[in-house]
Amino acid sequence: MTRALVTGGNRGIGFAVAAALAAEGLDVVIAARSGGAEAAAEIGCDWVAMDLTDDASIQAGLADAGRIDVLVNNAGVLWDEGLFSSVDHFDATMAVMVRAPWLLMRALLPGMGPEGRVVNMSSGWGSFAEGIGGGGAYGPAKAALNALTVRAAGEAPVGVKVNAMCPGWVRTRMGGAGATRSPEEAADTAVWLATLPEDGPTGGFFRDRRPIQW
């Protein structure tokens, strides 16, 4: 059975992605710093403790997760502040949304077979075409994640597909109650990318299953 790891799967978009992948018949494990047990019980999947700002925690979580065929780098952080407001927030943003996905891909890509899939949860705020936006270092981090996506797709094993996506403005703790999309709507493109057929795209950036500009 195909086994998927979803970071930040304890709530919001990550929870919706994990639940949808489980409904598709995948063996799902969510990675979370807290709340993982409750979310996993609701979905009916496994979970591992993982603090994405801590390299040792990432490695321990990977060891507990076991073999992974599908990786969804979903976890994110956002502060409503200027780019140069906080060194600590800058470091945490880059750790969660750039360094951790790099570490996870570095660890998991070599062991993936042709069915391997990586989905990097990016944002229009990380698109140069749409204007780098968001609070703090959020936009620059997502732009860096997009760059990692392109390079990782070029170095991935044969058949493995690595793509990025923008979920849109979603009603989550980060997006707020006034957002226009549900987590389930946002999860659709992630599930599509996680289950692409052999002739599916790689090294692309998508919203609502359609390519968008970097």
Residue 14 burial by CB count (10 A; 0-12/13-18/19+): exposed, middle or buried? buried
CA distances from 178 to 82, 172, 175, 182 (A): 22, 9, 8, 11
pLDDT one-digit tens code per residue, 104-121: 999 999 999 999 999 999
Give the least confident one: 73-87, 136-150, 162-176. 162-176
- Residues in Cβ contact with 201 at an 8 Å cutoff, skipping those fewer than 6 apart: 161, 163, 211
Residue 169: predicted pLDDT: 64
pLDDT band at 196, cuts 50/70/90? very high
- Which percentage of the chain shows pLDDT scores above 90? 92
Give the per-residue pLDDT at 46: 98
Encode pLDDT of 138-168 as tens digits.
999 999 999 999 999 999 999 999 999 999 7
State which H helix or E strand residue 73 sits in.
Answer: strand 70-73
Measured CA to CA, the distance from residue 214 to residue 173 in angstroms comes to: 26
Residue 139, token pair as written in the block:
């936009």
- Provide the number of structural domains found in the chain: 1
The first and second tokens of residue 174, run together, are 């980060």
Beta bridge partners of 49: 32
Active-site position among 138, 140, 148, 205: 138
Q: Is 122 a catalytic residue?
A: no
Longest dimension (CA), the chain: 46
Share of the chain above pLDDT 70, in %: 98
pTM value is 0.96
Q: How far apart are CA 87 and CA 51, in angstroms?
A: 19
Contacts of 94 (CB under 8 A, 6+ apart): 137, 141, 144
Beta-carbon contacts of residue 189 (< 8 Å; ≥ 6 apart)? 165, 167, 206, 207, 208, 209
Q: What pLDDT is attached to residue 177?
A: 77
Query: Residue 135 maps to which CATH number?
Result: 3.40.50.720
Q: Which domain holds residue 148?
A: 3-211
Q: Identity (one letter) of the amino acid at 42?
A: E
- Angle at which helix 138-155 crosses helix 100-108, to 10 degrees, equals 10
